[in-house]
Chain A
């Protein structure tokens, strides 16, 4: 009897001991849970993509006699890379994508770095205002510029009359100006420069100007100082912007889809979209893997070449000060230049889009053509196929609600999970678990959005593991947006947790304070600023997302972006542009509110890669 009681007593003690052990290792369990979840949501899709690319699909049976669904084959690889179709399906679009990637990266890095230098290192006036305006394009969907471009430079190739340019100057732009490579690069460059701007200005702000002064004292002129001192110091930031811009612009769908088709300008993402629509999933996934490899390659090269030189930046020492370059006589001209640039890329598109929504016929710029129909009109079969004005349109309101729901939920969930993942990674640093979790949470970054949408579509059209069939529900869209944003959220989480000294938590731990309380009272308050800026970043990216969700939305789960795309496809430009404005207003004001009232840091959450 006694011995038995003793036995159970020992058991109890052992149990208590192991529980205590566990409690001290909350982060370890968290890391494990996250690892399993991500393996399911990230690694499984990747494996599925690879397997699909190596097997016969149902549709292939029609082309290959005797094929069996699911049987191993190089069929898709040979179609994409060596068959008769290879040139049209892969090589030409691939070259196009590379040129777009290179062109956009060059353009946006030049614009972004120049602006960063002017705003951080010179005494240009109205800095604060300019700083907040410059990042606005980053808050809009990347293809808004393409919509504006078509309003201005459209020619008669796509029918009807040509755009504003013709109306003002009487010249019809040639095809290469209106559609294809050139406008794709310009439109994307005017969007993606924000990345370079944010990253380079971050780097410039930390450079000690004594270094530059030393250069001037040794007889270097201004250009040489820039070339020999400033440039090498911002090189890591440039490397990051290169990776980010290049992989993003190669994988983007909306802009090439809007501007490319009329002149048959195809890129890899538009080919993926077309292949999926044609039920050639195998082909589509081979193409998607090309993008995965490219994005991973860009990250690898960056970490190899530039990552090593990062240590070099911190050489400034302690006596940090930042003296601004005096623009002198150039002050006003430079300010005017910056202002003109911002007018062209922000004010002009917004004004044009707004004006267009008040035009009864889309190409008629006379005053008598103005109408408020597209905002507040009732259904009229003479206009826009009977679509009600934007404020009276249930479909659009449904989209507003869906988009907001998505943006807010994703923002909150991503920020929380990012913080927890960051905590798990940082606290278990040095273990294999930590490394694995860091890698896996960053993995969605290399997925081309459009391919990720395709794979989630086929994975979740029926129950998958413990998850019920999600296709057609809002949760699928929420899920994919959360996963796709996780690289950024986890990075934000990691850097937030890194700033909190472990000892703070350890003190509480020795006091016997539970993990949840520690998290609530210590970790969360200290990482608040990062938490909120991570939130607003996720909010922005999920509100403007198109490529990721275009294959997943159904009428009941429509988002503002997919509504815009559909309106544009149906040639209801006023509605498309009006809804775009609604979306922009929501994003910009949400950003303003959060920054104002939650004292979040700026949107500079993208210091990754």
Chain B
């Protein structure tokens, strides 16, 4: 009898622990690389063995490898892959658009099963990528040497950003005129804006999550902003820990409208001919619809306590990648041609002719509201305000340490 139970238990364990069997607990402090990875790093000349980058040699080796597998959170990587293949016909690119959560999950579960299928990973979601992937040796940072001087350290350490995007407030310029209807973000929690603030569901989008959670992180600034607006010290609702959470609380209880996509959010605030348009909290890049869909969105600026939250999109080489040199080449390609300077003028459409040739892998992402990490690349037309904005940068450590608490708070209040 005992034996049978034992066997049964054993079967359960094997069936049940499918994923978890080989799982490694999250490690906080980087220690030495695992042995096989170390050997691979040496062979691929990455991490501690990077040394001087010889780009002729990298290109030669990349062509020898002949293939590149990308996991990404962006469908536009396919367009990058197409132009990359044009420039390097010897390298076949297979890009898998898995979404940000899918990219992280697939990478983890494959690597746990000792499968190293992907070469290059590019996604947003700072907490997860830094703490779950990089700190657990699932990725290795690689910065093409020719760009090091052009990229501020915050955009290349601990992990290279291939582009950064803004997260802002937008209003309907046609209806409200050139002066934004609010100048302090707390105004959104007033009766006047009840049912008139829209955003994309942060539970369905890491960008929106990063933006909103970063607001919670800056509780002090929110507290100060409240005082500036009302002249009073803020009173917190029961169980709400600080002014950051309080803002989210009041926003939700002021009938915040949550939509399933950024496009819908942009349309809600920016469509023409409205009589009562809402304010949108959204990705800055949706300003592009002003040109393509005739929307009339404008940035809410000046705004207290922030005008823009900068969210990173990372790119990195996957652990024990089979095609590390192709991945290196692609990384450089993503950052655009080295000859670009702040005076370079790009003509629309950016995906054709000389513009496309110079922008390379940056082309499909070259749009207002986002910015290359290189400080030698001008922003796209319509996004000129970027440099004047009072910006916060997403902090991966906060996202990791506090992110789930904020998320639970959100789930709790959104459903109440």
List chain A positions with a Cβ less than 8 A from chain B.
Answer: 44, 47-48, 50-52, 55, 58-59, 61-63, 68-70, 84-85, 87-89, 92-93, 156-161, 257, 261-262, 264, 266, 274, 277-279, 381-382, 385, 457-459, 461-464, 469, 471-472, 554-556, 569-572
Chain B positions within 8 Å of A459 at CB level: 18-19
B258: CB under 8 A from chain A?
yes
**In the complex with contacts A58-B23, A63-B404, A278-B259 CB distance below 8 A:** no
Asked whether, in the complex, the Cβ of B269 is within 8 Å of the Cβ of A277, the reply is: no
**In the complex with contacts A62-B400, A62-B401, A70-B20, A469-B415 CB distance below 8 A:** no
Query: Knowing that A157-B195, A261-B260, A459-B19 are A-B contacts, what are 17 other residue pairs whose CB atoms are under 8 Å apart, sorted by A's residue number?
Result: A47-B16, A58-B26, A58-B108, A61-B25, A70-B23, A89-B412, A92-B415, A159-B271, A159-B278, A161-B273, A277-B204, A381-B292, A381-B349, A382-B293, A459-B18, A461-B109, A462-B113
**In the complex with contacts A159-B269, A274-B204, A85-B411 CB distance below 8 A:** yes
Contact with A462, one of B115, B260, B401 (Cβ below 8 angstroms)? B115
Can you sample 20 A-B contacts with CB below 8 Å? A44-B15, A51-B16, A51-B17, A62-B401, A63-B404, A70-B20, A85-B411, A85-B412, A87-B415, A92-B416, A159-B271, A159-B278, A161-B273, A161-B274, A262-B257, A262-B259, A469-B110, A469-B115, A472-B96, A554-B98
Asked whether, in the complex, the Cβ of B416 is within 8 Å of the Cβ of A88, the reply is: yes
**In the complex with contacts A262-B259, A274-B204, A458-B18, A385-B292 CB distance below 8 A:** yes
Complex CA gap A458/B102 in Å reads: 11
Question: Which residues of B from 266 to 296 have beta carbons under 8 Å from A?
Answer: 267-269, 271, 273-274, 276-278, 292-293
Chain B positions within 8 Å of A158 at CB level: 198, 257, 259, 264, 268
**In the complex with contacts A262-B258, A555-B96, A159-B264 CB distance below 8 A:** yes
Chain A positions within 8 Å of B115 at CB level: 462-463, 469
Contact with A59, one of B273, B278, B404, B416 (Cβ below 8 angstroms)? B404
Complex CA gap A459/B415 in Å reads: 31
Complex CA gap A93/B78 in Å reads: 38
**In the complex with contacts A63-B404, A88-B412, A160-B271, A277-B113 CB distance below 8 A:** no
**In the complex with contacts A158-B257, A261-B260, A278-B203, A63-B23 CB distance below 8 A:** no
Asked whether, in the complex, the Cβ of A88 is within 8 Å of the Cβ of B413, the reply is: yes
Question: Which residues of B from 1 to 55 have beta carbons under 8 Å from A?
Answer: 12, 15-20, 23, 25-26
Give, as a whole number of angstroms, the nearest-CB distance from A154 to chain B. Answer: 11
Asked whether, in the complex, the Cβ of A264 is within 8 Å of the Cβ of B106, the reply is: no
B408: CB under 8 A from chain A?
yes
Asked whether, in the complex, the Cβ of A48 is within 8 Å of the Cβ of B18, the reply is: yes
Chain A positions within 8 Å of B268 at CB level: 158-160
Chain A positions within 8 Å of B404 at CB level: 59, 62-63
Complex CA gap A266/B110 in Å reads: 33
Chain B positions within 8 Å of A157 at CB level: 195, 257
Asked whether, in the complex, the Cβ of A55 is within 8 Å of the Cβ of B20, the reply is: yes
Contact with A159, one of B112, B267, B415 (Cβ below 8 angstroms)? B267
**In the complex with contacts A63-B405, A471-B106, A472-B106, A274-B203 CB distance below 8 A:** yes
Closest residue of chain B to A263 (Cβ to Cβ) is B257
Closest residue of chain A to B17 (Cβ to Cβ) is A70
Give, as a whole number of angstroms, the nearest-CB distance from B21 to chain A. Answer: 8
Closest residue of chain A to B205 (Cβ to Cβ) is A277
Question: Which residues of B from 88 to 124 have beta carbons under 8 Å from A?
Answer: 96-98, 101-102, 105-106, 108-110, 112-113, 115
Identify which of B19, B198, B278, B412 gathers the most chain A CB atoms within 10 Å of its CB: B19
B221: CB under 8 A from chain A?
no
B261: CB under 8 A from chain A?
yes
Asked whether, in the complex, the Cβ of B258 is within 8 Å of the Cβ of A261, the reply is: yes
Complex CA gap A594/B201 in Å reads: 43
Interface readout for B236-280 with A: 1 if CB under 8 Å, 0 if not? 000000000000000000000111110111011101011011100
